Amino acid sequence: MPEPPPPPPVPARSSRRFPFPFPARPGPAAPGPAGRSQRRGGRAGGEGTPAAAPGSSTGTGSGTGILNRDPTPGPHPGIRGGRAPRDAIAVRRGRHDPRGARGPGPGRGLGLGPGRDRGEEPPPAPILRPCSLPVPSHRVPVQAWVGSLRHHRDLHRGLADLHPDVFAVRPRLDILHTVAMWQKNYKRISYAKVKSRAEVRGGGRKPWRQKGSGRARHGSIRSPLWRGGGISHGPRGPTSYFYMVPMKVRVLGLKVALTVKLMQDDLHIVDNLEMPSADPQYLLDLARFRHWGRSVLIVDVNEAPENIGAAAAGLKTINVIPALALSVHGLLKHQTLVLTVATVTFLEQTLLWHDGRYAPLYPFAMPYRDLTPPGLGPPPGCQRPPPGLGGTPRAG
């Protein structure tokens, strides 16, 4: 009895999602029907079909197409001088960059060349703004990129060290809610006012006699029981809803808001606010290109330059304010916060000064004021901010 023909070789596995060849299964496959063997053996590798030569694009053993079943790399027809389909597909899908300058990660986009692809460590980015205030020994400064408004792609000029006690505190949502509600209500005045029965015109005489008419007894047609009468227990405005929250709580609320913005990647730092054009469309295109969201708050210590002031004057979604006007409500209202390097220094010095002060800003018997008038010293028994700060930001 003649021996059955040997089964066709099992091809290397491949899939449509991952067309690169897998290693072939060890051991011979079980013989099956002739048609099934032909279908599993490849279109050119069944019975009655001559075997393809090694290196050709057909056959069971090797090929040069995307579905190459030979793990040995060969010339790829889609790329001149290519080595393997893996490199070709990676280049086509954008996963392999021979220049080594794709992506916004540290070390890329800074003109470092292809050293990243060769396995070399890229040089560290320059520190444009070191942290000038002392940092506790158990903590380290947090870092953020410093960009510029002069060009859309000018995103990574260097790094800025941020103090962890201002930009990396514990996120306290209860503090945020307390400060936001205080800032909303402390200057609220309700002017609602209604008239009582004594203020409504008319109703001076008794409508009818006390007894004998069969009707209920009444003394005035302007009673709260009557239509058109006075209102009992109504609002008697103007009513003030003023109350105060301790300064330490307001300062902590501002720190929590800055920390949340930084952790959510909604805080951006720029070297200054200089722009090449005063066109509002340039500022809108810049915010759209950098994915700043639907609203932007730009803060600077110094006076805003002429170009950005003119560009943001007619825009409803981009606002430019001084550092002293920064508040928790403004941070929560806007999606993106843009700070200058000088603003970061001012906020760190001011907010950390409040942590270490030992006396109240003003005597509790005096009315509340935000800033000390220029030329006047602090009240007796009170502490004044250090020189150079220029005041205290509105922590609420």
- Backbone phi, then psi, for 288, in 5-degree steps? -75, -40
**Alpha-carbon gap, residue 11 to 86, rounded angstroms:** 19
Tens of pLDDT, residue by residue over 345-392, are: 999 999 999 887 777 766 666 655 544 555 555 555 566 665 555 455
Question: Which residues does residue 267 pair with via DSSP β-bridges, in sequence order?
Answer: 337
pLDDT category of residue 50 using cuts at 50, 70 and 90: very low
What is the gyration radius of the CA atoms in the chain, in angstroms? Answer: 38
How many alpha carbons fall within 13 Å on the CB side of residue 69?
22
pLDDT at 101: 42
**Does residue 37 register a pLDDT over 50?**
no
3-state secondary structure of 337: strand
pLDDT at 109: 41
Strands 189-190 and 239-240: antiparallel
**Alpha-carbon gap, residue 169 to 252, rounded angstroms:** 9
**Alpha-carbon gap, residue 59 to 37, rounded angstroms:** 14
Out of 127-141, 224-238, 248-262, 325-339, least confident range: 127-141
CA of residue 380 relative to chain centroid, distance: 44
pLDDT at 220: 95
Taking CA atoms, 271 is separated from 44, 188, 318, in Å, by 65, 38, 18
**Does residue 92 register a pLDDT over 50?**
no
pLDDT at 367: 59
Query: Structure tokens of 23?
Result: 């290693």
DSSP state of 322: E
- Contact between 253 and 169 (Cβ < 8 Å): no
**Does residue 230 register a pLDDT over 50?**
yes
Tens of pLDDT, residue by residue over 113-169, are: 444 455 566 667 788 888 889 999 999 999 999 999 999 988 899 999 999 999 999
Q: Which residues, 6+ apart, have CB-to-CB distance to 207 below 8 Å?
A: 218, 220, 221
**Does residue 259 register a pLDDT over 70?**
yes
pLDDT at 395: 56
- Contact between 319 and 312 (Cβ < 8 Å): yes
- What mean pLDDT is predicted for residues 205-212? 94
pLDDT at 122: 63
pLDDT at 129: 86
**Alpha-carbon gap, residue 350 to 323, rounded angstroms:** 11
- Backbone phi, then psi, for 352, in 5-degree steps? -75, -25
**Does residue 393 register a pLDDT over 90?**
no
**Does residue 85 register a pLDDT over 90?**
no
**Does residue 105 register a pLDDT over 70?**
no
**Alpha-carbon gap, residue 153 to 145, rounded angstroms:** 13
pLDDT at 62: 43
Query: Structure tokens of 300?
Result: 């600077």
**Does residue 26 register a pLDDT over 50?**
yes
- What mean pLDDT is predicted for residues 201-228? 94
- What mean pLDDT is predicted for residues 78-95? 45
Tens of pLDDT, residue by residue over 268-294, are: 999 999 999 999 999 999 999 999 999
Question: Which residues does residue 297 pair with via DSSP β-bridges, in sequence order?
Answer: 319, 337
Question: Which residues does residue 145 pair with via DSSP β-bridges, in sequence order?
Answer: 159
**Does residue 339 register a pLDDT over 70?**
yes
pLDDT category of residue 107 using cuts at 50, 70 and 90: very low
- What mean pLDDT is predicted for residues 188-204? 94
**Does residue 205 register a pLDDT over 50?**
yes
296-306: buried (b, 16+ CB within 10 Å) or exposed (e) per residue?
Answer: bbbbbbeebbe
**Does residue 193 register a pLDDT over 50?**
yes
- Backbone phi, then psi, for 39, in 5-degree steps? -70, -40
**Does residue 322 register a pLDDT over 90?**
yes
Which residue in this structure is represented by tokens 């720029």? 270
**Alpha-carbon gap, residue 160 to 339, rounded angstroms:** 12
- What mean pLDDT is predicted for residues 210-215? 94
Mean pLDDT over all residues of the chain?
76
End-to-end CA distance of the chain: 98
pLDDT at 23: 52
pLDDT category of residue 27 using cuts at 50, 70 and 90: low
**Does residue 44 register a pLDDT over 80?**
no
pLDDT at 128: 84
Nearest to 156 by CA among 101, 95, 105, 210: 105
pLDDT at 349: 93
3-state secondary structure of 269: strand
pLDDT category of residue 98 using cuts at 50, 70 and 90: very low
**Does residue 261 register a pLDDT over 60?**
yes
